[in-house]
Amino acid sequence: MPQTYQLPKNFHKLAQEQQDDLIDAIATLAATRLGVERVDAMGKVAITVVDSDEQDDMLAQTLLGQERDLYAHRVNLERYETILANGIAGESRANMAALMLQTLDRLDDMTRIIEALTPQLPPQVRHDAAIARIKAREEAVRPGNATP
């Protein structure tokens, strides 16, 4: 059975120093699993398996995915607000309010993820080229665009 990992259930209650120690250990474990030595406190490692265009594409695709998730959560939040404004009551109202709170938390998470990803992106020219490659691949697989 594969090894599984999880944070202690009380992680958010630990002192900042204890949290930092755990995060540092996780970064070291991640670097070890990649088979390379850690190069900085953030656990960034040199990757040579894929070429620079592939790396750029992967980072750009990750950012696109995060931005799409952020957009979907914003749409959900607007939908929940509309549903609540239309006067639902009882347990349904409580459930909808809970969904709104979960969505607000998720919006905060998505924003932090995007902010953390942004410094990892390639220079703008390479990022733009990666986005163009991604869009071209997406367009090529749309129905009606497939080549025989």
| 131 has a pLDDT exceeding 80 | yes
**pLDDT digit string, tens, across residues 29-58:** 776 766 554 455 555 555 556 788 988 999
Q: Which position has the higher pLDDT, 46 or 103?
A: 103
Rg of the chain over Cα atoms, rounded to whole angstroms, equals 21
Hey, what amino acid is at 103? T
- Asked whether 63 and 114 are in contact (CB, 8 A), the reply is yes
State the pLDDT at residue 38: 44
| 107 has a pLDDT exceeding 90 | yes
| 77 has a pLDDT exceeding 80 | yes
Look up the pTM and report it. Answer: 0.63
